[in-house]
Each structure stands twice: as C-alpha cells, then as structure tokens.
C-alpha cells in the first residue's frame, strides 16, 4: 500500500513538473502585450547576466570567464530570434556602457530595479499588471530611444559524474542543466509586459564547450519560441507632440 | 546579480565565507597546491565580470583616494599570485571584500558612510589582512577537508545530522576567528601607518546601524562577521592604548560628496528610505544650503510612503525577521496599498508628503530656479490629488530644464494631468 502510494506521489509530482515546465516555456504576458497594444517594436537587450557553475563533489566552482562568453552568445541568439520575429533589437554591449557614464548609471539603476521586481515575481500575476520597474527603466528606454528594455539571465550548471554520484549518495548537489529568462519591460509605463523562461535539463557529466553552447542555444529557442511577432498596426502610439502637450496645458492653466 | 555575486564571491572572498577555517591565517609565502590555481584565475576574471555588468565605479578622484590609502597599508606581496589592487563597486550595501589574488573591493555604500581617510584605512586594513593572511586559500582548504569528512561520516547510518550540526557550529566559530584575526592585524597595520587606529572601532559602529529595522539591512558579506557591536567593543579595548593621530575630514568629504549623493539616491531607488534620510540628514548638517541635497532628502521623504518613524532598537528580532519577509514577498506598490488601508498608514503617508513638500520648498527658497525641486513638488501634488498644482510644478520643471533626461517621462505625466484637468472642467460646466 505504502509503495503504491509512493508510486502515485512520484507520478503526480512528475505530471505537475511537466505541466509547470510546459507553462514556464510558454511564457507569461499581459493582455495588452498579447493583443499588441503594448508590444514593442524596438527593444534594447541589456548584457545578459550569466552564471556558469561546475558543481563538483565537495565544492562549487564558478566559471566567470565562461559566464561572460556564454552571456554574450545568448544575447546574440536572443537578438537573432527577436529580429526574426520583426523586432528592431539593439544589443547593448558592456564596452559601450562602460564608455558612457550616463548610460552606465541608467543601466545599473534599471538592472537593480529589475532585480528587485523579479525577486518578487510570480509569473501568473503578470496579467494583473502589478510588476513595475519604475522610472529607472523609463529613463533608460528614453535615453536609448527604444520602446522596451529586455533583461535576461542565464544559468548553466555542469555537474561532473563524480559530483552527481557523491550528491546521490550523500545528498545535496546541484542538478545539471541550463535555464534562461528573458523579461520585456515597457519603456513608457515601466510595466513588466512579458516574462519567458527556458529550461534544458541534461544528464550529469563533463560537457564540452560545444555541448554547453548547444544548450545555451536551446534555452534561447525554448524561452523565446512563444514570443509573438512585432505588429506595428496594433501598437498604441502617443499622438501628440511634446510641445503640443505643453502648449495645451499652459492654455488650460491660464483659464 | 546578487545570486551570481554570492556564488562567486563566497567561494573566494575571505571576508564573506561563513564555513571555513580550521587554521589561522598564514602571513608567509603560501604556494598553491594542485587545483588551487582556479581560485586565482577566478579572482582575476571577476573584475571582467563586474565591468561587464557596469558595476565598477569610475570616479577617478574617489579611486585615487582609495588606491593611495590602500597602497599606504599593503605589505609587500609574499607570493607571485598576489598583487594588491583597489576598486570601488557601485552598490549601496555597506560592504567590502578581498579576493585571494589581492583585489580589494569597497562598495559605494561603505564609502558613503565613512567620515575620513582613517576610517577608510580601517576598512582596507581589515581586507588587506585577509589577503596577506591567505585567508581565502586557508578557508578553501579547510572547507574542502571538512566537507569530505562530513560526507564520509554521514554515510554511516544515523550520524549525518549530528555531524553536520557539529560541523556547522565549529565552522562558524572558525570563521569568526579568522575575522577576529583580520581585525587584530588591522589595528596593528594602522598603528604602523599614517592613519588613526582609533578609527577602527568607529567602522563597527557604522556597520551596526540598522535604520530599516531589518538587521541585517540586506544580506552583506559583513553580516556574516561577528556581531558588529561586540567587535566595536573589542576593537575599542584593543586600540585604547594606541596613540591618536590627527584626522582631517574636509578634503575627504569633498571627494566623496557626489558618491554620497549617488548612494542616497540608490537607497531611495532600492526602497531603503530610512537609510536615505539618515545619510542625507548627516550630509545636510555639513552642507545646509545645497538645494541638490535638500532635493534628494525630499525624494527620500516621498519614498517613505505610508511608513511611520522607526526605532530599530525597539524592534525584536522577530519583528525584524517579519519585516524582512514582508519586504521580499510584496512589491513596494503592494506594500503602499496595504499601508494606505490603515488609518495609521494614511496619516504617515500625509505626514511624509508634507515633509517632502517642505524640503523641496526649502531647496527652492535657496534657488527658485532649481528645476528638480519643482519636479519633486509636482510629484507630491500629484499624489495629493492636486492636478492643477502638479501641472504647474511639472511645467515649471520642463521649462527650466528643457534638456532633462526625464523630460519625456514628465511630459507623459503632464499629458495625463491635462486629461484630468479637462475632465474637471467638463464636470464643472455640467
């Protein structure tokens, strides 16, 4: 009886995990993003924050240089996918950021505000439009002249076979695999409009650079597979010019 | 960002690592053993990572002070893999850390709280001793040995939890010993330097500050250290007999002024308004007639939302833990909405906006054309449902600062206010 219950529990957990994964890959978006009103035409993709770790038997080694390289690769892949869907994508390179103190300040501010927002994120609640990254993202979008900012995170965990065996025997250890998120934040409102997640679990074992790159490409495709195409006909644009707004307001205040 | 930093730095930085040392630091030469080169490689690569995330603070004047004080303190390297280099990271948490290759990082949030070069020397001396004592390598070896022992023992039925509890306790104790060692050596290093050793306990007073009632305010490397108040006491006893040296703060204050402004803004942005107010008020004491300072103080009062005054000393640890939990569970907009559901929250909200308005007006009394204060006033008026006043203030801002970076944002607000004013007009005509 007990063994049967356990089997049912494991099966239920597996089904739940699969259902969650399918949803996660599908992405979460606001209704307005879905119907095109707030879907951007131009997107600035900030440097991808990538964490690459090798979970060994007794410690975890962080591969910093690989993180920088895979992050750049992911940015390129994500840019290609979004461009293929009709968006005008600007990949904001670290060198450009570090050469422009104002841009550097805006990027750091926007990233921190995004981190705060995303740490409280429950993707299903995006539709309620309760996640906002504030003026920091609006400033950055205005400065870069884009409709939206894309923030992306990439995690790669390589668990050599030895580490996996020790983990299985004694507990602990990290699951090998690659995952990524890509969030699109509206440059006018600061609202989180879309959040995509891609996961690629893999078997334990050393991985060659080609294999990791293949995983990175795969999670980029999984994450952005359901991103709808850009649609200029549906996006709501501001009609009045800045000066029109100011003149109208001045006359209203004079009354 | 934090996740990455903790993964990478915890593995390297001596000041950070709670699990750790079975041994004291080694201040002689410590040749690397097999497979330890990666500690140095990773340390060398981290700077590239910080640069790739635009976190390296680049103000040359600030860097020059940090480097000069660091150079005054650093002993000659004992190993070819060590080279002392000093950097500043843009991060408002009061923190500093050192890597095994000799890279020492101090956060803007720590620099902003320091009063003079002697206090800076105290922070750097502590970190330099982590490098000089090879604490990163010592800890790495000790952790590895303990982890293996723990895993082997825990494999023999039933003892695992007990062993792990014992391991954790001893590990934590050893970590404190290494921290204490770095503190002890820091006092000696300051004694042999041009700086005042009596500045050392003052740093622990600064670290013990808890303006938000979250203690630790945010999980920092330093929060894994021994209790800051206890360290301040120990440190005071330690330096009591040491000679005092003259301290000059004016030049330091001037160099750090913009960094402090930036840090206050960072606290506001990260929703730590109590801390922002405390820091802003401490700077305003020295510069009472600076509109820019009053403006950021006004912004900090605005950011208070429906929060009342706070005395962290009166909060229990349980309250603080609850505060921290709530903070991480809800967005700031959700928390404000909840605050405004209570009478107390609404009263605090009104009082905070009144303080903000008063502060902006003080800035405008000094300089009526100081544009950012007009924007602040517009924001207060908007929150108090005074669309005409808000529109007038925003308009003044846009006219005074036509090239402001946030012009488009303010114009969008004006567009919305125009809609409101028209609706009011139509309603009154009816």
Domains of chain A by range and CATH?
29-230 (3.30.160)
- Asked whether residue B69 is assigned to any structural domain, the reply reads yes
CB-CB under 8 Å, A188 with B412: yes
CB contact at 8 A, B79 and B19: no
Count up the domains in chain B and report the number. 2
**Count of positions (residues) in chain B:** 430
Mean pLDDT of A237-243: 74
Let me know whether B299 and B225 are in one domain.
Answer: no
Cα separation, A13 vs B5, in Å, equals 32
Query: Among candidates A181, A195, A155, which has minimal Cα distance to A70?
Result: A155
Last residue of a domain, one of B187, B208, B239: B239
Let me know whether B200 and B254 are in one domain.
Answer: no
Residues 212-231 of A with CB under 8 A from B: none
Task: Show residues of chain A in contact with B392, CB under 8 Å.
Answer: 253
Q: Which residues of chain B have pLDDT under 50?
A: 1-3, 6-7, 10-11, 13-22, 149-174, 216-224
Report the pLDDT value the prediction gives residue A7, as an integer from 0 to 100. 54
Task: Show residues of chain A in contact with B391, CB under 8 Å.
Answer: 249, 252-253
Q: Is the pLDDT of residue A161 over 80?
A: no
Let me know whether B188 and B275 are in one domain.
Answer: no
CB-CB under 8 Å, B54 with A51: no
* pLDDT band at residue A54 using 50, 70 and 90 as cut-offs: confident
Last residue of a domain, one of B218, B239, B260: B239
Q: Provide CB contacts within 8 A for B377, sequence distance 6+.
A: B357, B360, B361, B364, B389, B393
Residues 71-110 of B with CB under 8 A from A: 90
Task: Show residues of chain A in contact with B415, CB under 8 Å.
Answer: 238, 240, 245
- Asked whether residue B77 is assigned to any structural domain, the reply reads yes
In three-state form (DSSP H/G/I as H, E/B as E, the rest C), the secondary structure along B87-150 is: EEECCCCCCEEECCCCEEEEEHHHHCCCCCHHHHHHHHHHHHHHHHCCHHHHHHHHHHHHHHHH
Last residue of a domain, one of B239, B260, B287: B239
Task: Show residues of chain A in contact with B414, CB under 8 Å.
Answer: 245-246, 249
Task: Show residues of chain A in contact with B378, CB under 8 Å.
Answer: none
CB-CB under 8 Å, A51 with B7: yes
Q: How far is B397 from chain A (nearest CA, A)?
A: 12
Residues 113-152 of A with CB under 8 A from B: 113, 115-117, 119-120, 130-132, 134-136, 138-139, 142-143
CB contact at 8 A, A157 and A177: yes
Task: Show residues of chain B in contact with A61, CB under 8 Å.
Answer: 11, 38, 42
Task: Show residues of chain B in contact with A115, CB under 8 Å.
Answer: 1-2
pLDDT tens column, B10-27: 445 444 333 333 457 788
CATH number of B404's domain? 1.25.40.10
Cα separation, B107 vs B255, in Å, equals 15
CB-CB under 8 Å, A63 with B328: no
Mean pLDDT of A219-231: 92
CB contact at 8 A, B296 and B371: no
Q: Which of B151, B262, B398 sits opposite A246 (nearest CB)?
A: B398
Let me know whether B254 and B235 are in one domain.
Answer: no
Cα separation, A2 vs B96, in Å, equals 53
Cα separation, B3 vs A153, in Å, equals 11
Long-range contacts from A249-254, C-beta under 8 angstroms, 24+ separation:
A249/B391, A249/B395, A249/B414, A249/B417, A249/B418, A249/B421, A250/B395, A252/B391, A252/B418, A252/B421, A252/B422, A252/B425, A253/B388, A253/B391, A253/B392, A253/B395, A253/B421
Let me know whether B272 and B148 are in one domain.
Answer: no
Residues 79-108 of A with CB under 8 A from B: 94, 97-98, 101-102, 104-105, 107-108
A255 touches chain B (CB under 8 A): yes
Tokens at B316, concatenated:
């229990």
Angle of helix B273-286 versus helix B250-269 axis, rounded to 10:
150
Residues 308-337 of B with CB under 8 A from A: 328-331, 333-334
In three-state form (DSSP H/G/I as H, E/B as E, the rest C), the secondary structure along A41-102 is: CEEEECCCEEEEEEECCCCEEECHHHHHHHHHHHHHHHHHHHHHCCCEEEECCHHHHHHCHH
CB-CB under 8 Å, B46 with A59: no
A250 touches chain B (CB under 8 A): yes
Domain containing residue B256: 250-429
Q: Residues A202, A207, A211, A217: is their CA dihedral positive or negative?
A: positive
Q: Residues B34, B39, B40, B42: is their CA dihedral positive or negative?
A: positive
Mean pLDDT of A178-187: 95
Task: Show residues of chain B in contact with A75, CB under 8 Å.
Answer: none
Q: What is the DSSP letter of B216?
A: S
| Structural element, H or E, at residue A32 | helix A31-35
- Asked whether residue B245 is assigned to any structural domain, the reply reads no
- Asked whether residue B244 is assigned to any structural domain, the reply reads no
Q: How far is A136 from chain B (nearest CA, A)?
A: 9
Task: Choose, out of A100, A252, A254, A255, the residue to mutate when testing the contact with B (most B CBs < 10 Å).
Answer: A252
CB contact at 8 A, A40 and A186: yes
Task: Show residues of chain A in contact with B148, CB under 8 Å.
Answer: 58
CB contact at 8 A, B108 and B262: yes
Tokens at B226, concatenated:
């021994």
B422 touches chain A (CB under 8 A): yes
Q: Provide CB contacts within 8 A for A116, sequence distance 6+.
A: B270, B271
Let me know whether B192 and B133 are in one domain.
Answer: yes
Angle of helix B37-52 versus helix A64-84 axis, rounded to 10:
40
Cα B402 versus chain centre, distance? 34
Let me know whether B269 and B216 are in one domain.
Answer: no
Let me know whether B288 and B235 are in one domain.
Answer: no
Q: Which of B2, B90, B411 sits opposite A245 (nearest CB)?
A: B411
Q: Residues A118, A120, A122, A125: is their CA dihedral positive or negative?
A: negative
Mean pLDDT of A4-28: 55
Q: How many CB atoms lie within 10 A of CB A223?
A: 28
Task: Look over chain A and give the mean of its residue pLDDT values, rounded to a whole number.
Answer: 84
Q: Which of A59, A130, A248 sits opposite B143 (nearest CB)?
A: A59
pLDDT tens column, A135-148: 999 999 999 999 99
Let me know whether B206 and B304 are in one domain.
Answer: no
Let me know whether B261 and B127 are in one domain.
Answer: no
Let me know whether B162 and B254 are in one domain.
Answer: no
> Which residue in chain A is spatially nearest to B2 when comparing CA positions?
A115
CB-CB under 8 Å, A136 with B418: no
Q: How far is B54 from chain A (nearest CA, A)?
A: 6
Report the pLDDT value the prediction gives residue B17, as an integer from 0 to 100. 38
Report the pLDDT value the prediction gives residue B164, as an integer from 0 to 100. 32
A246 touches chain B (CB under 8 A): yes
CB contact at 8 A, B21 and B178: yes
Cα separation, B323 vs B215, in Å, equals 10
A71 touches chain B (CB under 8 A): yes
ipTM of the shown complex: 0.74
CB-CB under 8 Å, B2 with A115: yes
Report the pLDDT value the prediction gives residue B45, as an integer from 0 to 100. 87
Task: Show residues of chain B in contact with A142, CB under 8 Å.
Answer: 405-409
Let me know whether B275 and B315 are in one domain.
Answer: yes
């Amino acid at each position: 009886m007990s063994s049967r219950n356990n089997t049912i529990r494991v099966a239920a957990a597996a089904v739940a995990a699969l259902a969650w994964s399918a949803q996660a890959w599908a992405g979460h978006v606001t209704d307005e993003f879905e119907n095109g009103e707030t879907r951007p035409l131009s997107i600035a993709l900030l440097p991808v924050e990538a964490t690459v770790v090798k979970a060994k038997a007794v410690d975890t080694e962080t591969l910093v240089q690989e993180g920088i390289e895979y992050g750049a690769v992911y940015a390129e892949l994500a840019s290609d996918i979004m461009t293929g869907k009709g968006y005008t994508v600007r990949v904001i390179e670290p060198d450009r950021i570090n050469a422009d103190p104002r841009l550097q300040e805006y990027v750091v501010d926007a990233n921190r505000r995004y981190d705060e927002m995303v740490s409280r994120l429950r993707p299903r609640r995006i539709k309620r439009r309760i996640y906002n990254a504030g003026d920091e993202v609006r400033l950055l979008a205005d400065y870069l002249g884009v409709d939206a900012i894309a923030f992306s995170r990439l995690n790669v965990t390589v668990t050599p076979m030895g580490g996996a065996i020790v983990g299985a025997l004694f507990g602990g250890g990290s699951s090998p695999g690659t995952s990524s998120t890509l969030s699109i934040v509206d440059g006018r409102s600061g609202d989180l409009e879309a959040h995509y997640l891609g996961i690629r679990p893999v078997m334990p074992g050393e991985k060659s650079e080609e294999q990791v790159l293949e995983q990175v490409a795969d999670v980029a495709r999984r994450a952005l597979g359901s991103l709808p195409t850009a649609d200029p006909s549906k996006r709501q644009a501001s009609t009045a010019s800045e000066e029109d707004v100011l003149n109208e307001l001045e006359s209203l205040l004079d009354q | 960002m934090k996740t990455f930093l903790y993964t990478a730095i915890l593995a390297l930085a001596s000041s950070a690592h709670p699990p750790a040392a079975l041994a004291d630091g080694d201040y002689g030469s410590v040749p690397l053993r097999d497979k330890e080169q990666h500690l140095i490689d990773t340390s060398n690569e981290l700077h590239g990572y910080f640069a790739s995330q635009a976190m390296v603070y680049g103000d040359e004047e600030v860097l020059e002070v940090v480097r000069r004080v660091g150079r005054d303190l650093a002993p000659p390297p004992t190993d070819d893999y060590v080279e002392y280099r000093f950097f500043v990271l843009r991060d408002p948490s009061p923190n500093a850390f050192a890597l095994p290759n000799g890279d020492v990082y101090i956060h803007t949030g720590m620099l902003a709280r320091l009063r003079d070069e002697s206090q800076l020397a105290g922070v750097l001396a502590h970190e330099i001793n982590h490098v000089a004592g090879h604490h990163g390598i010592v800890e790495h070896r000790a952790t590895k040995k303990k982890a293996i022992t723990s895993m082997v023992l825990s494999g023999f039925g039933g003892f695992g939890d007990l062993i792990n509890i014992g391991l954790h306790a001893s590990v934590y104790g050893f970590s404190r010993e290494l921290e204490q060692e770095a503190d002890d050596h820091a006092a000696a290093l300051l004694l042999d330097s041009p700086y005042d050793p009596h500045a050392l306990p003052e740093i622990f007073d600064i670290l013990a500050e808890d303006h938000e009632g979250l203690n630790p305010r945010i999980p920092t490397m330093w929060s894994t250290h021994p209790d800051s108040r206890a360290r301040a006491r120990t440190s005071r006893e330690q330096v009591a007999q040491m000679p005092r040296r003259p301290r000059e703060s004016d030049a330091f204050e001037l160099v750090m002024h913009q960094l402090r402004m930036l840090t206050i803004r960072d606290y506001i942005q990260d929703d730590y308004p109590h801390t922002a107010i405390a820091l802003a008020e401490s700077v305003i004491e020295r510069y009472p007639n600076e509109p820019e300072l009053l403006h950021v103080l006004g912004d900090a009062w605005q950011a208070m939302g429906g929060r009342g005054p706070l005395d962290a000393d009166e909060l229990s640890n349980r309250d603080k833990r609850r505060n921290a939990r709530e903070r991480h569970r809800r967005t700031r907009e959700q928390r404000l909405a909840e605050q405004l559901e209570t009478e107390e929250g609404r009263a605090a909200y009104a009082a905070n906006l009144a303080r903000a308005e008063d502060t902006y007006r003080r800035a405008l009394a000094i300089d009526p054309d100081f544009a950012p204060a007009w924007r602040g006033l517009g924001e207060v008026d908007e929150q108090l449902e005074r669309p005409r006043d808000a529109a007038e203030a925003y308009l003044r801002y846009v006219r005074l600062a036509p090239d402001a970076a946030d012009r488009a944002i303010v114009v969008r607000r004006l567009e919305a206010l125009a809609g409101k004013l028209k609706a009011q007009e139509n309603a009154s005509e009816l």
